[in-house]
Amino acid sequence: MATVTEQELIAQAVLDYYEGWFDGDACRMDRALHPNLVKRRAGEELGITTKERMLELTRRGEGKADAVDRRVDVKVVEIYDDIATAVAHTTPYHEYLHLVRTGEGWKIANVLWRRS
C-alpha cells in the first residue's frame, strides 16, 4: 500500500477548494477551509472573504460559471512542520495559499488571489 505524502495531502486540500467551487459542492469546500479563513482579492482595496461567505457562494453555485476549463495546476512551494505554502493556477484565477495542518488535516487559512 502506497503512503500518501504531505505534498499530496496539501494538493488534495487545494483541489477540494477548487473542485468544490466549480461543482457547487459546499462539503468539499468546507473540508478544505480553516474556520478562520481570510481570503483577499488583490488590488487597491483588499476585499476580504470569510469561510462562511465562501460556503454561501459555493452553495449558490457561483463558481459553476468558472468551470469551463477545470484544469488546476497546484504547486506546493514549501512545507515547514505544520504550515505550508502553495500556488494554484486555473484559467479564471491565480492564487497564493497558506495552509495549516490541523487535527482534521491540511486546511487553507489564507488566500491572496486575482483573476487570471
For the entire predicted model, the pTM comes to: 0.94
32, 22 contact by CB (below 8 A)? no
Average pLDDT in the chain = 95
User: For the chain, which residues make up each domain, given as ranges?
Assistant: 6-115
Q: Region 25-47: what's the mean pLDDT?
A: 96
The pLDDT tens digits of the residues spanning 55-93 come to: 999 999 999 998 888 999 999 999 999 999 999 999 999
Measured distance CA(24)–CA(61) in Å, rounded: 5
pLDDT given at position 78: 98
Torsional sign, CA 81, 82, 85, 86:
positive
Which residues are bridge partners to 107 per DSSP? Answer: 100
As assigned by CATH, the class of the 6-115 domain is alpha beta
Measured distance CA(36)–CA(62) in Å, rounded: 21
What phi and psi, each to the nearest 5 degrees, are found at residue 104? -100, 5
